[in-house]
Structure formats: structure tokens, C-alpha cells
């Protein structure tokens, strides 16, 4: 989309979506009054008003559209968002830089054999659902790589999500352009020195829950929970992409670098 050309002819169609907070709702009213507001299906660009959680919700909700999303931070966390300023929005959209990210696909199996599938832009995580530590077996591309990981949980993160839950669990920050995923353990007890692994984007990861009755584990894809599971399969969805717009010099690549030199 050539936003500069659209700006010159004043025909840029914008869909403003806002979280439920009063700040975001007020911002939506102000911006809609100034620039008009169309449905996401009609829009040239979607402007998401909220925090990172709402940005993820917007990306999931509009993944069937090939429409870029420009976020403005009206929440508490805004790694995926631009700063909120009402003046000059059209100029900011015209000069915005685009990042393309691919989500993870989670296929979780419940004890009764039912399957739960979901996409994750940030990470797929497994967490113990009882008082005892989880015991997990990790396989990559059909080969068992770790027979038993005793931990509070584990997660697989995309580069875009590497500064979120993954970073809090002491996982590595991944450059956006890297073709790798981060596999990170949460509070690993055994092996004590195992800090995770970097895996190629094309890898197919399977995590089996050992003794799920005694040591139950629940799985989540971003904020979408699968409940208690006995195994989870994770792989990157190269056929699905999300287009995110950032102000020049404030894209994901720059933010990832800043996080490492605070």
C-alpha cells in the first residue's frame, strides 16, 4: 500500500479499533471525528488504540484481511505500538515502515483425544496446572531431544514475541529478520543447566506431558487457552502473515536492540 499516494488524494480509508479502556475509547471518538471511520473490511489501514494485548487481539481478528495495522499506545505496555499523538496521523501513516511477521500454529491434544488449534503471534506456552513441577519430553522434527524436562513450564516464541513472556523467562531476544524460534524453559529444575534452545523457523516441535494426571499442564497460544493437555505440536505458519506499521526509526528491529542495551 502506497500511503503517500493515498494521502495526496485524501482518500485513505481508516478503521479505528479501540480497547475497552476509557482512554482508548476517547481517542477513537476524537480520531474518528477528524478522519472518518470505516469497517476493517473497507479500510486501507487499521489503527489499533490500546496496549500490546489489544494489538494481538486486533491482529488475530483481522488476519483474514491483507490490511496493515498501525498501533497507538493507549495502554500500559506498548512494544508493538507507536506513541499516541493525535496531530499528524496521516503524515505518520504515509511515512510508516512495515514489518511482516508470521504466527505459530499450535495443535494441542487433550486426554480424551480432542484437538484444540490456535495461532500465536507471540508465543505458545505450557504451564504446570498443579502444585508439582511439570515433566515434559521435547521432540524436534520427530527426534526426541530432551527425554525429561522438570520445570514450571516451557514456551516457544517468535522473534516478535521474544521480548514478551519469553524475555521474562530469561529467554533470548531474537532479531525480527532471523529465521529462528526460541524454546525457553520456565524455572527449570532438571536438567539444572538447560537454558533452552534456538530452533530453525521450519522446525516442527512436539512437547509431551509426562504423567499428566499427577502433573497436569495447561497450554496457551498467546491468550487463547487450550486447557489441560497431554501433548502440543508447534510450527511456524509461513502461509499466514501480519503486516504491522511503525514510525520510522521505531520499528521492531530498533526496539529489540534498545531492549538489550537498557
Query: Would you say 141 is a known binding-site residue?
Result: no
Cα separation of 168 and 132, whole Å? 21
| Residue 61 DSSP class | H
Taking the CA of residue 36 as centre, how many other CA atoms within 13 Å lie in the half-sphere pointing to its CB?
Answer: 13
Query: Would you say 236 is a known binding-site residue?
Result: no
Cβ contacts of residue 11 below 8 Å, gap of 6+? Answer: none
Radius of gyration of the chain (CA): 20
Query: Would you say 52 is a known binding-site residue?
Result: yes
Cα separation of 93 and 164, whole Å? 26
Query: Would you say 123 is a known binding-site residue?
Result: yes
Cβ contacts of residue 25 below 8 Å, gap of 6+? Answer: 18, 19
Query: Would you say 168 is a known binding-site residue?
Result: yes
Query: Would you say 167 is a known binding-site residue?
Result: yes
Query: Would you say 95 is a known binding-site residue?
Result: no
Catalytic residue among 52, 208, 220, 222: 52
Query: Would you say 178 is a known binding-site residue?
Result: no
Query: Would you say 185 is a known binding-site residue?
Result: no
Query: Would you say 84 is a known binding-site residue?
Result: no
Residue 48 Ramachandran class (φ > 0 left, ψ -120 to 50 alpha, else beta):
beta
Query: Would you say 122 is a known binding-site residue?
Result: yes
Task: Tell me, yes or no, if 52 is annotated catalytic.
Answer: yes
CA torsion 97→222→23→259, rounded to 10°? Answer: -50
- Active-site residue set: 52
Please report, in range form, the residues annotated as the binding site for NAD(+): 52-53, 122-123, 152, 160, 163-168
Please report, in range form, the residues annotated as the binding site: 52-53, 122-123, 152, 160, 163-168
Amino acid at each position: 500500500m502506497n500511503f503517500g499516494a493515498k494521502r495526496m488524494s485524501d482518500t485513505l480509508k481508516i478503521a479505528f479499533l479501540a480497547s475497552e479502556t476509557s482512554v482508548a475509547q476517547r481517542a477513537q471518538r476524537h480520531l474518528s471525528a477528524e478522519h472518518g471511520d470505516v469497517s476493517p473490511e473497507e479500510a486501507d489501514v487499521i489503527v489499533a488504540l490500546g496496549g500490546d494485548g489489544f494489538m494481538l487481539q486486533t491482529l488475530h481478528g483481522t488476519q483474514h484481511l491483507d490490511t496493515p495495522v498501525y498501533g497507538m499506545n493507549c495502554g500500559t505496555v506498548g512494544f508493538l505500538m507507536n506513541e499516541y499523538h493525535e496531530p499528524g496521523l496521516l503524515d505518520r501513516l504515509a511515512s510508516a515502515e512495515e514489518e511482516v511477521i508470521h504466527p505459530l500454529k499450535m495443535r494441542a491434544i487433550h486426554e480424551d483425544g480432542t484437538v484444540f488449534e490456535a495461532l500465536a503471534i507471540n508465543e505458545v506456552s505450557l504451564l504446570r496446572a498443579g502444585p508439582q513441577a511439570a515433566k515434559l519430553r521435547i521432540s524436534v522434527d520427530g527426534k526426541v531431544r530432551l527425554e525429561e524436562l522438570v520445570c514450571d513450564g516451557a514456551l516457544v516464541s517468535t522473534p516478535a514475541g521474544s521480548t514478551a513472556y519469553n524475555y521474562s523467562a530469561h529467554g533470548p531476544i531474537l532479531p525480527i529478520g532471523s529465521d529462528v524460534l526460541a524454546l525457553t524453559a520456565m524455572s527449570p529444575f532438571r536438567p539444572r543447566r538447560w537454558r533452552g534452545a534456538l530452533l530453525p523457523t521450519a522446525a516442527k516441535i512436539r512437547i509431551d506431558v509426562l504423567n499428566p494426571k499427577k502433573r497436569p499442564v495447561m497450554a496457551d497460544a498467546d491468550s487463547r487457552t487450550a486447557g489441560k493437555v497431554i501433548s502440543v505440536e508447534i510450527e511456524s505458519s509461513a502461509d499466514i502473515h501480519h503486516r504491522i506499521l511503525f514510525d520510522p526509526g521505531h520499528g521492531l528491529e530498533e526496539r529489540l536492540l534498545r531492549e538489550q542495551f537498557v
